[in-house]
Chains A and B, each alone.
Chain A
Amino acid sequence: MMKLFGITFKNRVFIASGVFGFGLKYKKVSNRVGAIFTKGITLEPRKGNAPPRVFETASGLINWVGLENPGVEKFCKDILPKMKKLRTRIFVNVAGSEVIDYERIVERIGGQVDGFELNISCPNVKKGGVAFGQDPKIAASVVARARTKTKLPLIVKLTPNFCDPLRIAKVCIGAGADGISLINTLYGMVYDIERKKPLITGGLSGPAIKPFALYCVNRLRGLGVPIIGMGGIMTGQDAYEFLLAGASAVAIGSAILRDPYAPLQIIKELKKYPPPPSSPSERGRIKEGEKKEYK
């Protein structure tokens, strides 16, 4: 057990967004991790990108799934009722194509979950496809506006692409974010030498990005809010390194593509290490009265 944002979690091992659907398939795993971050939810349904959507690269992969999801309405009607039966914390990964999308999704879902993770790595349609998270002003406005719609923990998931996550983290916290998660995937590309054009352009993940992810987490330590660290975590030792670098919890992503039960193994392995030095940020920013007790 541990506490973040004023709520308790079974452990510090969470499941990252996009690699576990809605946690309804491997329930044994879902019920034993600290929290699940859902696949990114958008306002309208998205059918996702044309294949190929995944391409293996050195010690990792590039994905170009394209936020395929049923949209917030269907998510609330058909999926959330099932997710609520899981014995874990549920954070909805919120994705938008415009600033207003985020607050509308947060508002629609309301108090039915344990918190939100704002994925500001998506391309902002109105700003010509630049990610919300690359522009401090836009990032802050996404957070501030979502903040007005919920008292639940609001985590901001940062992109490390072409911007300094430290700068973005500071403005997001200023705008009311309760925590930071990072890193989202790195830009990546594979070339097709026969057709002389890219075979896939997307997000790079897996062990290949771990050193950079660790660096980013370490760079953001001490900001006073919990950090959920992720990027290439495959073992208990990897997870422990993130905790030492300043993360309060870790999220498992690509490891699940190799083994859906990977989080359980990581939880087991992590027990071998002494508890990480607790950070003051773990006291959280949620005020007593707003606490949501563990079911």
Chain B
Amino acid sequence: MVRRVTIKKKEWFTDDIFGLEIYLPDIDPQPGQFFQVRVSTTYDPFLNRPISVASYKGGTMLMIIRVLGRGTKILSQKEAGEDLRVLGPFGKGLRVKKKKSLLIAGGIGVAPLLFLAQKMHGKRIEFDFVYGAKREKDLIKKSHILQIAKHAIFVTEQDRGKMTVLGALDMLDVESYDIAYACGPKTMLIELQKLNLPIPVYAFCEDFLGCGCGLCLGCAIMYKGEYKRICEDGPVFELKGISFDE
């Protein structure tokens, strides 16, 4: 059901990343789950936009959105007090495991991982956080991450000879972790897959969706030899099972 909610708070984190807070008391979202956000009450843009849960506490949900194209631009013009229509939560929630975890975020991919971190922190699960972005000012929620992660590494393409998130992994003893979770641009996930880390890596996949709820078959990802639905079977998949080129 499309829910009509009021935007409680709007906040700009950088010049193109903003947060919208809404109150949705009757749900229990899990990391990886997302909402389909209605962009326009007219038919153009037509489709809803998938946006991850970045935080959920006491009924208040935060979505962190990067302005990419037309839809996110329109969303960025909404202000506190205005209406927002959302559907969800959709996607298979991730069951947080009591394992020593490594969270790997690239760019806006940090959004769903912040929620995962929040859940892990709540369950006292130890995790480290590696987070990279193009510029220093694109790194959002740094102090928050420092507070809840055991160790955090921030890298930007501006510093230390254009360090990337994956470059930063070299500085870690990856084998000391039980599991890793990654979210970022497709190019980052492809490179990460090539690294063939010695631990299971779960990727949060972002793509353009149709319905977002398993009806239209519009969101295919080749996983272990067959097409799966990103919106329904995912959006979290084990990285090594994904074929990015099919």
User: Nearest CB to that of A259 among chain B residues?
Assistant: B2
Known pairs A48-B227, A257-B210; list 11 more (Cβ under 8 Å): A21-B215, A26-B215, A54-B219, A56-B46, A57-B46, A59-B43, A61-B47, A257-B47, A257-B211, A258-B48, A259-B87
Interface residues on B, range: 20 to 34
- Answer yes or no: B226 CB below 8 A from chain A CBs: yes
- Nearest 6 A/B pairs, CB to CB: A54-B218, A54-B210, A207-B43, A257-B211, A59-B43, A59-B44
Among the interface residues B46, B213, B219, which one has the most CB atoms of the partner chain A within 10 A?
B46
Q: How many angstroms between the C-alpha atoms of A63 and B45 in the bound complex?
A: 16
Q: How many angstroms between the C-alpha atoms of A68 and B228 in the bound complex?
A: 11
Q: How many angstroms between the C-alpha atoms of A234 and B44 in the bound complex?
A: 13
Q: Which of B87, B218, B221 contacts A63 (CB 8 A)?
A: B218
Nearest-CB distance from B43 to chain A (Å)? 4
- Answer yes or no: B208 CB below 8 A from chain A CBs: yes
- Answer yes or no: B10 CB below 8 A from chain A CBs: no
Cβ A59 vs Cβ B215 within 8 A:
no
Cβ B217 vs Cβ A56 within 8 A:
no
- Answer yes or no: A71 CB below 8 A from chain B CBs: no
**Majority secondary structure, B binding face:** loop
Q: How many angstroms between the C-alpha atoms of A52 and B47 in the bound complex?
A: 15
Within 8 A of B (CB), among A21-64: 21, 25-26, 39, 47-61, 63
- Answer yes or no: B15 CB below 8 A from chain A CBs: no
Among the interface residues A26, A54, A61, A234, which one has the most CB atoms of the partner chain B within 10 A?
A54
Among the interface residues B210, B214, B219, B222, which one has the most CB atoms of the partner chain A within 10 A?
B210
Interface residues on A, range: 35 or more
Encoded as 1 (CB less than 8 Å from any B CB) or 0, chain A from 95 to 129 comes to 00000000000000000000000000000000000
Nearest-CB distance from A79 to chain B (Å)? 14
Q: Which of A18, A20, A51, A257 contacts B207 (CB 8 A)?
A: A51
- Answer yes or no: A19 CB below 8 A from chain B CBs: yes
Cβ A53 vs Cβ B217 within 8 A:
yes
- Answer yes or no: A184 CB below 8 A from chain B CBs: no
| Contact A68/B227 with A19-B216, A59-B43 known, Cβ cut-off 8 Å | yes
Cβ B208 vs Cβ A55 within 8 A:
yes
Encoded as 1 (CB less than 8 Å from any A CB) or 0, chain B from 44 to 71 comes to 1111100000000000000000000000
Cβ A53 vs Cβ B219 within 8 A:
yes
- Answer yes or no: B92 CB below 8 A from chain A CBs: no
Q: How many angstroms between the C-alpha atoms of A26 and B211 in the bound complex?
A: 13
* List of B residues within 8 angstroms of A257 by Cβ: 46-47, 210-211, 215-216, 218
- Answer yes or no: B246 CB below 8 A from chain A CBs: yes
Nearest-CB distance from B172 to chain A (Å)? 32
Cβ A51 vs Cβ B46 within 8 A:
no
| Contact A260/B217 with A52-B208, A58-B44, A59-B43 known, Cβ cut-off 8 Å | no
Q: How many angstroms between the C-alpha atoms of A207 and B220 in the bound complex?
A: 24
* List of B residues within 8 angstroms of A256 by Cβ: 211, 215-216
| Contact A63/B216 with A51-B207, A258-B38, A261-B1 known, Cβ cut-off 8 Å | yes
Q: Which of A18, A19, A48 contacts B220 (CB 8 A)?
A: A48
User: Nearest CB to that of B69 among chain A residues?
Assistant: A56
- Answer yes or no: B209 CB below 8 A from chain A CBs: yes
User: Nearest CB to that of B70 among chain A residues?
Assistant: A56
Q: How many angstroms between the C-alpha atoms of A39 and B214 in the bound complex?
A: 13
24 residue pairs A–B, Cβ–Cβ below 8 Å: A19-B211, A26-B215, A50-B246, A52-B208, A54-B219, A56-B45, A59-B43, A59-B44, A59-B46, A60-B43, A60-B46, A61-B210, A63-B210, A63-B216, A65-B218, A68-B220, A206-B43, A256-B216, A257-B46, A257-B47, A257-B216, A257-B218, A258-B38, A261-B2
Cβ B220 vs Cβ A51 within 8 A:
yes
Cβ B46 vs Cβ A20 within 8 A:
no
Within 8 A of A (CB), among B190-243: 207-211, 213-222, 226-227
Q: How many angstroms between the C-alpha atoms of A56 and B207 in the bound complex?
A: 13
